[in-house]
Amino acid sequence: MLIVMDHRATPEEIERVVETIGEMGYGAQPIPGRQRTAVGLVGNDGRVESARLEGLPGVREVIRVSKPYKQVSREWRDEDTLVDVGNGTVLGGREVVLMAGPCAVEGRDQILQIAAQVRDAGASVLRGGAFKPRTSPYSFQGLGEKGLELLALAREETGLAVVTEAVDSESVALVAEYADIVQIGARNMQNYPLLKRAGRAGKPVLLKRGMSATINELLLAAEYLLSAGNPNVILCERGVRSFDTQTRNLLDLTAVPLVKSLTHLPIVADPSHGTGVRTKVTPMARAAVAAGADGLVVEVHPDPPTALSDGAQSLYPEQFAELVAQCGPIAEAIGRSLASAVQRTT
Ligand code: PEP
Ligand code: MN
């Protein structure tokens, strides 16, 4: 961290900055310049309270040199983290993993049917919410524990791993009991008690980017999970709010290569929530694979017009099969391949 002094700062003001840094337990290194002096803070452990320095007389600005997050950074760990989700599927390696299924678990027949369909099309992970964070309290809230039981049944029948959302700290343990991956949704990305609890859940976590979250905020949210003891974190770009109303969100695919340069954690893309529009899902899935995403999260429903949530962005099963067929050659073109649950289970 660099504390840049105003050009009119007095030697006493510079000395006060040096002393304050010392009181905070760090080293101070004044760097006199022709125009102004800067003071380097040495030994930054990521916990420096910069506001204390910003408020001192004569301080012009405080510049962060090192990253505010630690364990998620490439400096902390250079090799890519591989997240094993339990059915032989690994995220973060050469294979691009397909996670697919309905927005919400709606019933036994629905989830068993769609699980078999997405598995046959090439998915390795079944998605489906049992606890749904809905914008309106009057919308379908999910089947709760019954939904988790149905997901477990679908896993048994198909060999797919299961990812499903925990919406509050109280339900994390229950969700972790049934799921192979605990999803933290966009609305909860900065729910710090939930992150701390999910960090102790003993299962990999799929952390979705908040709808107005910066990359720094996403990585700091992931830092909560790692610092609570969970190294198995998968990040997810699911679109951010923008000014255009033609799509539900703006799928920020620059986040994929950007995040991969900053962190060793895998990142997947969700073109369903990222666009909100069925016809735009496959093109953006192709683009996400081309951008280097380690996987895709795609909403697929056996009969989208009757879906209890997110029907407009859910693919028909045959559209998902086509998406997979189109993404395969794109993965190959960048030296990767699509993971296939079917090959493993047969
Ligand atoms: C979901 O995956 O169904 C979901 C609610 O996603 P998000 O948190 O990204 O809105
Ligand atoms: Mn959804």
What is the residue whose two structure tokens read 């000395």? 15
- Check: CB of residue 98 under 8 Å from CB of residue 125: yes
Ligand at minimal distance from the CA of 164 is 1
Rounded distance from Cα 273 to ligand 1 centre (Å): 7
In ligand 1, which atom is closest to the CA atom of 183?
2
pLDDT of 344 > 60? The answer is: no
Question: Across-strand partners of 163?
Answer: 127, 181
What are the tens digits of pLDDT across the range 173-199?
999 999 999 999 999 999 999 999 999
Average pLDDT over residues 14-35: 94
pLDDT reported for residue 64: 84
pLDDT of 82 > 50? The answer is: yes
**Closest to 72 in 3D by CA, of 239, 256, 233:** 233
Average pLDDT over residues 283-300: 98
pLDDT reported for residue 346: 43
Q: How far apart, in whole angstroms, are the C-alpha atoms of residue 41 and residue 52?
A: 13
What are the tens digits of pLDDT across the range 311-327?
999 999 999 999 999 99
Q: How far apart, in whole angstroms, are the C-alpha atoms of residue 164 and residue 183?
A: 5
What are the tens digits of pLDDT across the range 195-252?
999 999 999 999 999 999 999 999 999 999 999 999 999 999 999 999 999 999 999 9
Average pLDDT, the chain: 95
What domains does the chain contain, in order, with CATH numbers?
A: 2-63 (3.30.70.1140), 83-345 (3.20.20.70)
pLDDT reported for residue 132: 95
Is the Cβ atom of 103 under 6 angstroms away from ligand 1? yes
For the chain, give the percent of residues with pLDDT over 90. 92
To test the ligand 1 pocket, which listed residue (165, 167, 191, 252) has its Cβ within 8 A of the most ligand atoms?
165
In ligand 1, which atom is closest to the CA atom of 188?
8
- Indicate the helix (H) or strand (E) that contains 338: strand 337-338
List the structure tokens of 84. 């094993």
- Check: CB of residue 168 under 8 Å from CB of residue 194: yes
3-state secondary structure of 345: helix
**Closest to 219 in 3D by CA, of 240, 197, 237:** 237
In ligand 1, which atom is closest to the CA atom of 104?
3
pLDDT of 336 > 50? The answer is: yes
Of residues 342 and 216, more confidently modeled: 216
Amino acid residing at 300:
V
Q: How far apart, in whole angstroms, are the C-alpha atoms of residue 183 and residue 206?
A: 5
Please, where are the H alpha helices in the chain?
Answer: 11-23, 50-54, 108-121, 145-158, 169-178, 192-198, 215-227, 255-262, 271-275, 278-291, 317-333, 341-345
3-state secondary structure of 337: strand
- Vertex 220 angle, CA 215 and 221, to 5°: 95
Ligand at minimal distance from the CA of 209 is 1
pLDDT of 341 > 70? The answer is: no
pLDDT reported for residue 14: 97
Rounded distance from Cα 273 to ligand 2 centre (Å): 6
Amino acid residing at 48:
V
In ligand 1, which atom is closest to the CA atom of 186?
8
Is the Cβ atom of 186 under 6 angstroms away from ligand 1? yes
Q: How far apart, in whole angstroms, are the C-alpha atoms of residue 175 and residue 93?
A: 26
Average pLDDT over residues 279-283: 98
pLDDT reported for residue 46: 75
Q: How far apart, in whole angstroms, are the C-alpha atoms of residue 273 and residue 24?
A: 44
**Closest to 77 in 3D by CA, of 299, 266, 224, 273:** 266
What are the tens digits of pLDDT across the range 96-130?
999 999 999 999 999 999 999 999 999 999 999 99
